[in-house]
């Protein structure tokens, strides 16, 4: 077999070092639709075949089945033989499991496919669940998976004080370059959680410089608006569009790659020189959310060189070229965002107010981007204490 073996693949293959952490145990499973082995068999099926009793299922944002749209609360179902508990409900208290849901378990198994951006909430669900399990003395078994963006590049500064939220529960770079296991080890270090509570089944064959195509793994949609690896490539920048009144392409087949608004003049955007990507002017009509049913003018971002392309910087520059066309009072998303009502969504996404203020003042982004680069370099040094894999 060539390519990468995930933690789940190792269990499916009967790897003795992986099996000894789960075989014969009564476990809960935190997983989602992309929690499959390389043969596309679900994590719950693989664990059952390995002699594991899965007595509770836990779903992150979008639900265990991965069907709910962003920021849509999902209810729990405890009326079946195996209850399904939601870790994304109607308020912030619903983001952590209730202790009663975990009591009686020998271990909690976590198998989640992340996409390498701090806004993607699955890693924070894993961190919150780990903290509750640790307080109860329940072991966490983490089945690790690749970071689709690799483990070398880091982009964007960590959030400034006062700007932590569920799209960044801890201060990390936008593109953090860590696997889920590494990020949880980093959280243990920061929170002084006994690392022995976290038992990791690391991948075989993954190195930090790998592109997704090098892993040999199938891409399975981890959330409704992450349909392809191309989406993940642009997401560290594309998600910032969420914090504006522009459409980020939700309700199309190419969310985050497509973005724009009715009547937008794309000329200033197309004038930008973005390394590693080509911009194509498009028209699109979202079927839901922002500007649903209206024809939007915008661009599609075609990544031509993933190792050169810097999605976070690219989208900040594109947004700075587009947003001045909108009135200052109608540029920014003002609704409650990920359970936060006292900070603009764009500030939560970028980790502070600097980008928004620069756009509103018509100022150059040079200093903002320089500060983002300094912050990325700082986090790049900090994260290495959690590395499980070398270059």
Sequence spans of domains, the chain: 7-217+380-386, 229-352
d(CA 77, CA 70): 20
pLDDT digit string, tens, across residues 335-376: 999 999 999 999 999 999 999 999 999 999 999 999 999 999
> 7-217+380-386 and 229-352 share one CATH topology?
no
Predicted local confidence at residue 92, as pLDDT: 94
Predicted local confidence at residue 221, as pLDDT: 97
Predicted local confidence at residue 330, as pLDDT: 96
Order across the sheet with 296-303: list the strands: 258-261, 296-303, 277-284
Predicted local confidence at residue 311, as pLDDT: 98
Provide the 3-class DSSP secondary structure of residue 225. coil
d(CA 245, CA 223): 22
Q: What residues of the chain score a pLDDT lower than 50?
A: 1
Predicted local confidence at residue 79, as pLDDT: 67
Identify the DSSP state of 242: G
pLDDT digit string, tens, across residues 102-126: 999 999 999 999 999 999 999 999 9
Predicted local confidence at residue 189, as pLDDT: 92
Predicted local confidence at residue 315, as pLDDT: 98
Predicted local confidence at residue 71, as pLDDT: 73
For 7-217+380-386, CATH number out of 3.40.50.12170, 3.40.50.1220, 3.30.70.250, 3.30.160.270 equals 3.40.50.12170
H or E stretch covering 142? strand 139-143
Predicted local confidence at residue 390, as pLDDT: 87
CATH for 229-352 is 3.90.1150.140
């Amino acid at each position: 077999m060539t390519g990468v073996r995930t933690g789940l693949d190792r269990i499916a293959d009967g790897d003795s070092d992986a099996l000894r952490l789960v075989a014969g145990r009564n476990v809960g499973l935190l997983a989602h639709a992309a929690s499959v082995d390389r043969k596309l068999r679900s994590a719950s099926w693989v664990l059952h075949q390995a002699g594991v009793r899965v007595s509770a299922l836990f779903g992150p944002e979008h639900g265990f089945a991965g069907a709910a749209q962003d920021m849509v609360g999902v209810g729990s179902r405890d009326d079946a033989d195996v209850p399904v508990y939601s870790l994304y409900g109607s308020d912030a208290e619903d983001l952590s499991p209730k202790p009663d849901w975990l009591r009686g378990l020998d271990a909690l198994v976590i198998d989640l496919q992340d996409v390498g951006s701090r806004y993607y909430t699955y890693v924070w669900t894993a961190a919150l669940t780990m903290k509750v399990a640790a307080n109860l003395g329940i072991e966490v078994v983490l089945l690790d998976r690749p970071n689709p963006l690799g483990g070398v590049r880091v982009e964007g500064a960590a959030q400034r004080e006062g700007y932590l939220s569920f799209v960044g529960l801890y201060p990390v770079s936008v593109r953090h370059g860590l696997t889920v296991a590494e990020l949880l080890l980093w959280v243990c270090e920061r929170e002084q959680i006994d690392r022995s509570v976290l038992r990791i089944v690391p991948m075989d064959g993954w190195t930090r410089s790998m592109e997704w195509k090098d892993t040999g793994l199938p891409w399975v949609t981890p959330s409704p608006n992450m349909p392809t690896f191309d989406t993940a490539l642009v997401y560290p920048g594309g998600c910032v569009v969420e914090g504006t009144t522009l459409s980020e392409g939700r309700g199309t087949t190419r969310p985050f790659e497509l973005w724009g608004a009715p009547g937008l003049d794309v000329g200033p955007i197309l004038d930008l020189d973005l390394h590693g990507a080509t911009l194509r002017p498009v028209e699109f009509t979202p079927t839901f959310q922002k500007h649903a049913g209206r024809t939007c003018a915008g661009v599609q971002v075609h990544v031509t060189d993933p190792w050169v392309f810097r999605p976070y910087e690219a989208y900040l520059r594109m947004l700075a070229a587009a947003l001045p066309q909108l009135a200052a009072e109608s540029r920014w998303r003002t609704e409650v965002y990920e359970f936060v009502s006292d900070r603009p969504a764009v500030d939560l996404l970028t980790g502070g107010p600097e980008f928004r203020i620069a756009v509103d003042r018509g100022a150059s982004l040079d200093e903002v981007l320089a500060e983002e680069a300094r912050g990325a370099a700082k986090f790049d040094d900090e994260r290495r204490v959690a590395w499980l894999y070398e270059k």
